[in-house]
Structure 1
Amino acid sequence: MSETFPTHHRHVRRRAIWAFLSRFFEHGSARLGVAALTFFVVLAAVPGPLVGPLETAATATGDFLTSPDSQHMLGTDEAGRDVLNLVVHGARISLTIALIATMISLIVGTTVGIASGYYGGKVDVWLMRMTDFFFVVPPFVLALVIAPVFVEVMGRGREILGFRSSLFVVVVVIGLTSWSFIARIIRSQTLSLRERPFVDRARVAGSSDLSIMMRHILPNLVPQIAANGALVVANAIYIETSLSFLGLGDPLQPSWGTLLSLAQRAGAASAGAWWYLGAPGLCVLTVSLSFVLIGNALDDTFNPRRRVIP
């Protein structure tokens, strides 16, 4: 019998996972979003013979602002560098920044939301007033004000946790300015969950507040966190692109926003170099849209009452 129950639980868990994936991929938006995102992730992680290392991306390999041809599939930039090479390496930087910043946002937003909803009273009031400030002021505006200050304080060119200081600042600033709507959503769900019978039973059994929040409330919030986390990634990509476009990125580790900034400074629009502006711009738009489609599909999957399958 001791071996039967674990096997049964694994079977039930496996069936639940397959049922979830089946409902998720019923959505056309989910299939489209996952396909597009998978393409960019594979391209960034396994570039293969199309591009070389980052050192090659920083080396001139052709004439200035040449249009796409068999040698340079996305043309060259103002320094004669292969744009495809730059775009692929930019994908690594942009996606890494967006995902890490999103993790920071989810951790902060979830922590604030659970604490506010569970404790209520003065804790709820103070945490929600702080959340309101971040909610009212657009994240990009906050990031634009805070990022230059952090860059100057930390110094340019230093490496922090594997990132150059300017990129590290962008990651942290995006993460610390994009959590407010997550906190509000989590708080509203926690207000409902804390009144459920299983929470009362945990209190009667002597579980601590931290144990109740981590073991009983947090697992029930995973669907909301996952669905809204995908939307946070899309927003993080836009903010990172905007900050890098305004010069807060790192030219030595170019993201898509940095490439757009370099193209604008080089006069790519007036020179008719559509490939230089179009390639990173289309990447930003496609990846952001992919996360939005995935987030909406997750929300419909986790909330059967509002499912609308195209």
Structure 2
Amino acid sequence: MAGLAFFLALAAVPGLLVGPLETAANATGDFLTPPDGQHLLGTDEVGRDVLNLVIHGARISLTIALMATVISLIVGTMIGIISGYFGGKIDTWLMRTADFFFVVPSFVLALVIAPVFVEVVGRGREILGFRTSLFVVIVVIGLTSWSFIARIIRSQTLSLRERPFVDRARVAGSSDLSIMVRHILPNLVPQIAANGALVVAGAIYTETALSFIGLGDPSQPSWGTLLSLAQRAGAASSGAWWYLGAPGVCVLTVALSFVLLGNALDDTFNPRRRVIP
């Protein structure tokens, strides 16, 4: 939790900590110099401070992962509740769709869909403050990662719809929409929160992979973009371990932190997983 809070703080105010994002035009160091007193994490192939890039990359990576997770949770929760509440053919069709997204890795789907979205939306534009490539990455990750949530929400809804409070709501004349929103959804919040943390971890890995293969935005570098730039600059062969290591450690640390957070929330909200001494 402490590590996660640390990275969230870095992402919140990168400009106050390391100043504006460095570019090739305002680079402050020499090419691929190792860490020293002036550049704590060394410099990249054009002399930019790696610490500056990593801290600014934290904002991009975490923003993409969190916004993609919000989309995934909304889609997965809606489909899961509708499928579990109505059952029948609706349940069958929605779950077969979920099975498709569940079987095919989200990275593969995102890899296929993202370039198409970029061409449809148009390059070089800004949408909601994001360049086209970053906005597409957010949407694609969100729309390919919801099946896991939908399956869990459906199973919980199947149980909740048989509870006495739902029967009382029906007798009182509540509509199906009202029952799902006012009576079933509040009881699903703990599960949504616990599994949402796991979705964030997956979204970070997916974003890193997509940016690594060139679908990111070099002008707004995420950790995945930094790894891609380091690989293209030959950081591994030239011994510039700091250039590859800094963003790589950040990705692993933050993803692991969200996994641990998700497990902790699940242990808290699910009494069956608690260990009785």
Bin for the TM-score computed over the shorter chain: over 0.9
Pair 1:70-2:37 in alignment: yes
The TM-score normalised by the length of structure 1 is 0.87
Kindly indicate whether the alpha-carbon contact (under 8 Å) linking 1:57 and 1:85 is maintained by their aligned counterparts in 2: no
Structure-1 separation of matches of 2:167 and 2:254: 43
What percentage of residue pairs aligned between the two structures are identical? 87
Task: Supply the distance in 1 between the matched residues of 2:16 and 2:240 (Cα, whole angstroms).
Answer: 25
Counterpart for residue 208 of structure 1: 175
Q: 2:247 aligns with which of 262, 267, 280?
A: 280
Amino acid at match of 1:101: A
Contact 1:57 1:86 in 2 (8 A): no
Aligned to 1:269: 236
Letter in 1 for 2:149: I
Q: Does 1:232 align with 2:199?
A: yes
Q: Which residue matches 2:27?
A: 60
Q: Cα offset for 1:57?
A: 8.0
Deviation, 1:46, is 2.7
Separation in 1, partners of 2:82, 2:218: 40
Query: In structure 1, what is the equivalent of residue 186 of structure 2?
Result: 219
Q: How does 1:1-310 map to 2 (within 5 A)?
A: 34-47=1-14, 50-54=17-21, 59-308=26-275
Q: Specify whether residues 299 and 147 from structure 1 end up closer, same or farther in structure 2 by C-alpha distance, changes over 3 A only.
A: same
Q: Say which SS state the counterpart of residue 59 (structure 1) adopts.
A: coil
Q: How far, CA to CA, are the matches of 1:74 and 1:54 in structure 2?
A: 15
Paired AA for residue 18 in structure 2:
V
SS in 2 for 1:63: coil
Q: Give the Cα separation in 1 of the matches to 2:116 and 2:92.
A: 30
Deviations 1:101-152 (A, max 9, x none): 0000000000000000000111111111111110110101100110011112
**In 2, Cα distance between equivalents of 1:254 and 1:199:** 49
The whole-number CA distance in structure 2 between the counterparts of 1:308 and 1:275 is: 41
The one-letter amino acid of 1:251's match is P
Whole-Å Cα distance in 1 between the matches of residues 15 and 109 of structure 2? Answer: 39
Contact map agreement 2:72 2:142 (CA 8 A) in 1? yes
Distance 2:78 2:120 in 1: 28
Distance 1:110 1:60, change over 3 A: same
Alpha-carbon separation, structure 2, partners of 1:304 and 1:200: 25
What TM-score does the superposition give when structure 2 sets the normalisation length? 0.97
Other structure's SS at 1:269 match? helix
* CA 176–58 in structure 1, closer or farther in 2 if over 3 Å, else same: farther
Which residue identity is paired with 1:137?
V
Q: Is the radius of gyration larger for structure 1 or structure 2?
A: 1
Q: 4+ residue runs of structure 1 moved beyond 6 angstroms? A: none
Distance 1:286 1:57, change over 3 A: farther
What secondary structure does 1:279 align onto? helix
Relative to structure 1, the CA distance from residue 50 to residue 197 in structure 2 (aligned partners, 3 Å threshold; closer, same or farther) is closer
Check whether the contact 1:114–1:187 (CA below 8 A) recurs between aligned residues: yes
* Structure 2: distance between partners of 1:276 and 1:99: 25
CA contact (8 A) 2:10 2:59 kept: no
8 Å CA contact 2:15–2:21 kept in 1: the answer is no
Between the aligned partners of 2:25 and 2:257, the Cα distance in structure 1 is 29
